[in-house]
Amino acid sequence: MKQSMFQIREQQALTTDVFRLLLHGDTSAITQPGQFVNIRIEGFYLRRPISVCDWEDGSLTLLYKLVGGGTRKLSRMPLGTQLDVLTGLGNGYDMRKSGQHPLLIGGGVGIPPLYGLAKRLRQQDKQVQAILGFNCAADIFYAEAFRKLGVDVRISTVDGSCGVAGFVTDALPGLRYSYVYSCGPLPMLQAVSAAISTSGQFSLEERMGCGFGACMGCSCQTTGGSKRLCKEGPVLEKEEIIW
């Protein structure tokens, strides 16, 4: 974990409630796709945990959804604002298990960390497929960004307004894959775990107090005992998760 000051370089609305934030600062503590950062927002006691979408040397991309006062205040901050950020938090995705044809399955704001994962898997010449799930066509974001990486993308929408009608699991038939990486709401992850034919890794969500393992507030039970999602997670192996 590292505490650093980051400067807002870009702020862009991707949909009515999803924003892209580009920050400049020290990214040296970020080592795996699937990790997250914790941002201090003045006037709010707890920091806001946001998954890392992508990072390069000195550049950090975050996608976040407006869910409360903290994220709304963040969305209104002008360019040049300095943010106090904890980086290098959490246990990310292990790319060594991917095989040659990994499948990435994301729902809503569970999609951003999969972009950084897809980018690095493509750099390893993996043949990456992705299923991206949304409620409707108006909610779709970053699908083209995945395609520009060379990812074979399938879209699912609950209302059937774009792609496969239904949930991400409805887009699974016909796909062949070596391993699965997933991130999204808990019911989606449960359904994916039951539907896939291989092992995989799942990024889980819990309310976090400290974000670095001190308060034990985000603990969950696994086959290996209690684990803190901010420290031993948020990414866990399919076989260890007790749904």
CATH of the domain at 139: 3.40.50.80
**196 and 108 in a common domain:** yes
99 and 190 both lie in a single domain = yes
Residues 99 and 80 occupy one common structural domain: no
How high is the pLDDT of residue 210?
A: 81
In this prediction the pTM is 0.96
Total tally of structural domains belonging to the chain: 2
Report the chain (243 residues): mean pLDDT per 10 consecutive residues.
97 98 98 97 94 97 96 98 97 97 97 98 98 98 98 98 98 97 97 98 84 81 91 94 92
The answer to whether residues 110 and 132 belong to one domain is yes
pLDDT at 203 (0 to 100): 97
Residues 74 and 15 in one domain: yes
Domain membership flag for residue 179: yes
* Per-residue H/E/C for the chain: CEEEEEEEEEEEECCCCEEEEEEECCCCCCCCCCCEEEEECCCCCCCEEEEEEEEECCEEEEEEECCCHHHHHHHCCCCCCEEEEEEEECECCCHHHCCCCEEEEEEHHHCHHHHHHHHHHHHCCCCCEEEEEECCHHHCCCHHHHHHCCCEEEEEECCCCCCEECCHHHHCCCCCCCEEEEECCHHHHHHHHHHCCCCEEEECCCCCCCCCCCCCCCEEEECCEEEECCCCCEEEEHHHECC
